[in-house]
Structure 1
């Protein structure tokens, strides 16, 4: 049951980053929420495997939630901002190349 809540929290983090990151139109509307959910699920599962050697990662403790949500937020924010910046740069470059297509090259 906690795994479902972790995935839902990751999706909600992804929705928040989707609206907070710049150049929202350059990404699909579901990319960051899906990424947030997947990262949260993987982080939660990895942390549950570590419960044996690290008993402070118990389900009823707060650290497993803090780490899971922090990892999901960091990854989603990093991908959201870098993907937006890269896509904007590539779109500007393509526009520049297409607007100068077919013009004579000048040699100096």
Structure 2
């Protein structure tokens, strides 16, 4: 059940990350928190399978921090691709 605490924290920090990053109008409000939560769940599960207990601070740091870092990288990539695609479409339409 401790995984729920990690997932709730990762989702909350993902929401904060969404609002801290620029160009949030180019992506959905749920994209960054969803990526952060899914990555935290995967990292938490993998670390549990390797034998790290929930009393270890590294499990929490790795799952929440790793989820945020991955969400940051994916969100920046999505935003850059969207800006490039929009610029290309505007140029093609002559706007």
TM-score by length of 2: 0.92
Cα shift readout 1:28-81 (whole Å, capped 9, x = no counterpart): 111111111111111111110001xxxxx2211211111111210110000111
Does the alignment pair 1:92 with 2:87? Answer: yes
Q: Say which structure is richer in helix.
A: 2
1:76 corresponds to which of 63, 71, 77 = 71
Hey, what's the Cα distance between the residues in 1 that align with 2:6 and 2:74? 19
Report runs of 4+ in structure 1 exceeding 6 Å deviation: none
Tell me which residue corresponds to 1:47: 47
Larger Rg: 1
Hey, what's the Cα distance between the residues in 2 that align with 1:15 and 1:62? 23
Unaligned runs of 5+ residues in structure 2 are none
Does the alignment pair 1:33 with 2:33? Answer: yes
Hey, what's the Cα distance between the residues in 2 that align with 1:29 and 1:66? 24
Q: How many residues align?
A: 95
Structure 1 residue 13 displacement after superposition = 2.1
Unaligned runs of 5+ residues in structure 1 are 52-56, 101-108
Q: CA RMSD in A?
A: 1.2
Tell me which residue corresponds to 1:24: 24
TM-score by length of 1: 0.82
